[in-house]
């Protein structure tokens, strides 16, 4: 053994190639004879297409094809349908319009694809897009949930009356109403989670090829969910899934935007078949802003009822989710599942009542990003508690301590019937506050004041359900050269699986970590796969690895029993070696694999399993911000956290994942917000000139302590670690901003603390 097992911190294997420029992303793949595709996208948020004249474009230099909805229809391709078409809790169907691969009679958001131009070079294809004449008749557009729900509002589609996909009441409304009526304290707030443009470093991309001899498509794409993409491509093209192979090389980030199927996934291989040559499409950064699935865009009015001592009695929330022009995998499904799942988060709340509305607008479709639905729930809860502290005079920390679900009540079932297996919420809270040096805050605040700055303190507790797609499979293969291949249906998109998954195999099998190699990102390698989403990979693939390792050891025990001439039940296995107790005879697992191969069999093991539960990472985040009262500039100064991620396979990798989530949560709290112009539906934040992302200089040194409670729903005891911290830092910053502004008379502040918005709040308070 080389020590690289569960709990150790070997360096990430993949970093060597990433840091030396040896990563292999889609645009690094050289394909002879490749043609280049560019999409003509709608400049209107809502318009009727009265006609398309592509004659001049088809005659342009280098142009190989100009394809529109007419060709799509002629070839019998199918429109896109959402993965979930019903409410997960009620089974009620969602009203929706199947999304055409290329717009037919109408466009419904700026950036919707209208035509596909293919040429010998990308520049030629781009030039030809300007020659396609589309006759549009603009229509009124709606861009917010409130606009879309207003009486007489323009309809995004007649298939969705009133633009409303869901208008749903969930929970015990009668109990919540009675608790509110009897409460000593009632506090109400509005809370918003702004729309986010998910901005992976590598834009979406597709390389399509068609092999006429085998009758198969090969689709190489920057995606985090290739088996689901394979099946959706097959559905769109009207072929069997086995005729489609999807490959994902190194993926330059996903963050949810690459989780689901897009029209480009089917259109590019379809075009390759029509032309008889490979076709490549690379999204521009502008297309990321116009055509990728976006996230959040959630508004809520919430109420919390408390008794005289500050114990929570009930929570009522009325929320509106803007999911854009199309129902995607993350639209209504998030609101019907993740959003409702943990409404009490880490607190004991006897009654919860929800009113949930999900509406269509003339904006890009909303999908998922880190902690979808959960982060919105946490933001509402944590902002409510701080509002209750201000209103009742009870210290915010005291309110939280009085209402945590205690450790001896775990597993707990919340008011909506969802179970959480493990967690020591108060311990994490107390550790985080102690590490943050709250007694020293007054001195730090005074020091900020001497520089003309307002300093605020905020904290928030978080919890997220992780699990994603409920089924996963792995295969462990013992190769003739003495190495071990691990084949998985989930994929890495930067999280470190090439390091952590072999650690699990090495730990379970007792073989040297260096001999274990991860193979993934190819639908031909393994039958199915849940991809990567919802921080599922270590939980789902790790459990399957654990079971496959047990099966391999079981097969090896039978081989060892024959080789060592003892009964199978007498064989002992430890640190990669089978032994016969009472003798000096032994056989290593790798030698057993070689013997099995010589006998015409293998120790190879394939496992597919379906989870029954999720995992629930949780914790507390404490932040301090400084605000320039003259400009509204807000700076995140300090951060301290204590998080519970269960058993850590590799603590270094876990902290790296938490740091990434913290950076994204900070961006959403301080600067990120997609803005659309009322009436026209034009996006006003269509580049990084108008839509900032946090840079290293904008962020403090993260101080993340880990205090794990082993998860009881999987044999490794792990919990998903990639997303949860978003839910902690976003409301913590919001609470800190309001704490800093309170001395100026600001009583409410929600959404990103951009300089403009903070300055406006200060001016409003002054007047």
Q: Please provide the CATH number assigned to the domain covering 141-195+294-404.
A: 3.30.365.10
> How far from each other are the two terminal CA atoms of the chain, in whole angstroms?
70
Q: What is the DSSP letter of 331?
A: S
Q: What is the DSSP letter of 514?
A: G
Contact between residue 42 and residue 362 where contact means Cβ atoms under 8 Å apart: no
Structure pTM?
0.96
Residue ranges per structural domain of the chain? 15-22+468-610, 32-139+204-282, 141-195+294-404, 419-466+616-767
Q: What is the pLDDT of residue 651?
A: 96
Q: Please provide the CATH number assigned to the domain covering 32-139+204-282.
A: 3.90.1170.50
Q: Report whether the peptide linkage leading into residue 411 is cis, meaning its omega lies within 30 degrees of zero.
A: yes
* CATH class for the domain made up of 419-466+616-767: alpha beta
Residue 668 φ then ψ, to 5°: -65, -35
Contact between residue 155 and residue 148 where contact means Cβ atoms under 8 Å apart: no
Residue 654 φ then ψ, to 5°: -60, -45
Beta strands at 244-247 and 216-221: parallel, antiparallel or unpaired: parallel
Q: What is the pLDDT of residue 1?
A: 46
* Fold match between domain 15-22+468-610 and domain 32-139+204-282: no
Q: Rg (Cα) of the chain, in Å, rounded?
A: 27
Alpha carbon distance 588, 591 (integer Å): 5
**Integer CA distances (angstroms), 718 to 138, 467, 575, 698, in order:** 52, 11, 22, 31
Question: Which residue, among 481, 492, 486, 482, has the nearest Cα to 547 in the 3D structure?
Answer: 486
From the number of C-beta atoms within 10 Å of its C-beta (0-12, 13-18, 19+), residue 406 rates as exposed
Element (H, E) at 300: strand 298-306
Specify the CATH number for 15-22+468-610; select among 3.30.365.10, 3.90.550.10, 3.30.300.180, 3.90.79.10. 3.30.365.10
Residue ranges of the chain with pLDDT lower than 50?
A: 1
One DSSP character per residue, 535-574 reads T-HHHHHHHHHHHHHHHHHHHHHHHHHHHHTS-GGG-EEE
Question: What b/e readout covers 704-737, taking b as 16+ CB neighbours within 10 angstroms?
Answer: bbbbbbebebbebbbbbbbbbbbbbbbbbbbbbb
Q: What is the pLDDT of residue 3?
A: 62
Q: What is the pLDDT of residue 4?
A: 76
Neighbours of 301 (CB within 10 A): 15
Q: Tokens at residue 622, please?
A: 């404490």
Contact between residue 287 and residue 111 where contact means Cβ atoms under 8 Å apart: yes
Contact between residue 136 and residue 44 where contact means Cβ atoms under 8 Å apart: yes
């Amino acid at each position: 053994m080389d020590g690289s097992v569960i709990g150790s911190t070997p360096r990430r294997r993949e970093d060597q190639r990433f840091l030396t420029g040896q990563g292999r992303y889609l645009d690094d793949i050289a394909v002879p004879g490749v043609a280049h595709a560019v999409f003509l996208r709608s400049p209107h948020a809502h318009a009727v297409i009265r006609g398309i004249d592509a004659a001049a474009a088809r005659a342009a230099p280098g142009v190989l094809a100009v394809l529109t909805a007419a060709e799509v229809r002629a070839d019998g391709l199918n429109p896109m349908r959402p993965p979930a078409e019903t409410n997960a809790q009620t089974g009620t169907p969602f009203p929706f319009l199947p999304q055409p691969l290329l717009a037919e009679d109408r466009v419904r958001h700026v950036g919707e694809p209208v035509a596909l131009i293919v040429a010998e070079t990308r520049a030629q294809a781009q030039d030809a897009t300007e020659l396609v004449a589309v006759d549009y008749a603009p229509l009124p557009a709606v861009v917010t949930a409130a606009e879309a729900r207003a009486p007489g509002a323009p309809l995004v589609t007649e298939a969705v009356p009133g633009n409303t996909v869901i208008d749903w009441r969930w929970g015990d409304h009668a109990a919540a109403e009675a608790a509110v009526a009897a409460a000593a304290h009632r506090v109400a707030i509005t809370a918003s989670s702004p729309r986010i443009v998910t901005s992976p470093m590598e834009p979406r991309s597709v390389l399509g090829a068609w092999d006429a001899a085998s009758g198969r498509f090969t689709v190489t794409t920057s995606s985090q969910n290739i088996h689901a993409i394979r099946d959706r491509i097959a559905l769109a093209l009207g072929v069997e899934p086995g005729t489609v192979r999807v490959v994902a090389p190194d993926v330059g980030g996903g963050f949810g935007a690459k989780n689901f199927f897009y029209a480009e996934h089917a259109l590019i291989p379809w075009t390759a078949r029509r032309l008889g040559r490979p076709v490549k499409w690379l999204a521009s950064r502008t297309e990321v802003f116009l055509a990728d699935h976006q996230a959040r865009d959630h508004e809520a009015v919430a109420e919390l009822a408390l008794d005289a001592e500050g114990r929570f009695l009930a929570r009522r929330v009325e929320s509106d989710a803007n999911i854009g022009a199309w129902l995607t995998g993350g639209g209504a499904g998030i609101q019907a599942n993740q959003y409702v799942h943990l409404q009490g988060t880490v607190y004991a709340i006897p009654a919860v009542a929800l009113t949930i509305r999900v509406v269509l607008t003339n904006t890009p479709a909303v999908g998922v990003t880190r902690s979808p639905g959960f982060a919105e729930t946490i933001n509402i809860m944590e902002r409510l508690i701080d509002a209750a502290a201000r209103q009742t005079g009870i210290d915010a920390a005291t309110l939280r301590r009085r209402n945590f679900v205690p450790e001896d009540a775990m597993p707990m079932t919340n008011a909506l019937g969802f179970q959480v297996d493990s967690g020591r919420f108060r311990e994490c809270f107390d550790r985080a506050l102690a590490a943050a040096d709250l007694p020293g805050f007054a001195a730090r605040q005074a020091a900020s004041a001497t520089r003309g700055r307002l300093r605020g303190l905020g904290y928030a507790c978080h919890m997220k359900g992780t699990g994603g797609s409920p089924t996963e499979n792995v295969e462990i293969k013992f190769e003739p050269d003495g190495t071990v291949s691990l084949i998985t249906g989930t994929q890495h998109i930067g999280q470190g699986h090439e390091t952590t998954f072999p650690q699990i195999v090495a730990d379970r099998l007792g073989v040297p970590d260096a001999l274990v190699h991860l193979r993934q990102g190819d639908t031909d390698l393994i039958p199915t796969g849940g991809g990567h989403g919802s921080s599922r990979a270590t939980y789902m693939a790790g459990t399957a690895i654990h079971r496959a390792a047990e099966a391999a050891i079981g097969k090896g025990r039978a081989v060892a029993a024959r080789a060592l001439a003892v009964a199978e039940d007498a064989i002992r296995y430890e640190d990669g070696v089978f032994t016969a107790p009472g003798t000096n005879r032994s056989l290593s697992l790798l030698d057993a694999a070689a013997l099995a191969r010589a006998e015409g069999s293998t120790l190879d093991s394939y496992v597919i399993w379906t989870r029954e539960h999720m995992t629930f990472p949780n914790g507390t985040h404490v932040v301090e911000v400084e605000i320039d009262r003259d400009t509204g500039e807000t700076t995140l100064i300090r951060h301290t956290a204590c998080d519970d991620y269960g058993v850590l396979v590799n603590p270094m990798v876990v902290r790296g994942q938490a740091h990434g989530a913290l950076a994204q949560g900070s961006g959403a709290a301080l600067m990120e917000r997609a803005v659309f112009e009322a009436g026209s539906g034009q996006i006003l934040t269509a580049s990084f000139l108008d839509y900032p992302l946090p840079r290293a200089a904008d962020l403090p040194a993260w101080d993340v302590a880990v205090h794990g409670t082993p998860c009881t729903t999987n044999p490794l005891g792990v919990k998903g670690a990639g997303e949860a911290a978003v839910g902690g830092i976003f409301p913590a910053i919001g609470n800190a901003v309001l704490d800093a502004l309170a001395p100026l008379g600001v009583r409410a502040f929600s959404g990103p603390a951009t300089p403009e918005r903070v300055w406006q709040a200060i001016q409003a308070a002054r007047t």
